[in-house]
Amino acid sequence: MTMQPSALLEAALYVRDLDEAERFYGGTLGLKRIAKAEGRHVFFQCGSCVVLLFNAEATKTPPEPGANLPVPPHGAHGEGHLCFAATGEEIARWRAHLENAGIAIEADFEWPNGGRSIYFRDPSGNSLEFAEPRIWGLTSRN
């Protein structure tokens, strides 16, 4: 029997300014903050997934010996990408909401196989997208 993960539980992005990221993801995108460690990270719930936002420099430091949470060091350089699932109607509303908040839409298009996407940036330059799951041949319940 082949093993296969059933779903994505969390996705991480690395940000320059945690306070600015918290305002953007919590305020502009309306995600619910579920954890925060000053100077290190802020985590948000997004449906059944968690969006982890890290200060990249802080996550390079290994945990102290005997730490309660012995998470290995990690990090990334450059802009990352996350895509949020949305219906076509929701994408239209998100576009208006983002534009009203002064956030530029970098791209808005229909994919050749069907489905719409819009792309924009968070304050750290990460590429964010709202897309219909059907761009990958998925339904919203897959």
pLDDT digits (tens, 9 = 90+) for 33-43: 999 999 999 99
**Does residue 101 register a pLDDT over 80?**
yes
pLDDT computed for residue 76 by the predictor: 86
Average pLDDT, stretch 102-111?
97
In a domain, residue 1? The reply is no
How far apart CA 137 and CA 79 sit, in angstroms, is 26
0.85 surpassed by pTM: yes
In a domain, residue 142? The reply is no
How many C-beta atoms lie closer than 10 Å to residue 69's C-beta? 6
Average pLDDT, stretch 62-66?
78
In a domain, residue 55? The reply is yes
In a domain, residue 99? The reply is yes
Quote the domain boundaries for residue 59: 10-64+76-136
How far apart CA 1 and CA 18 sit, in angstroms, is 43
Total domains in the chain come to 1
Q: What is the CATH number of the domain that holds 39?
A: 3.10.180.10
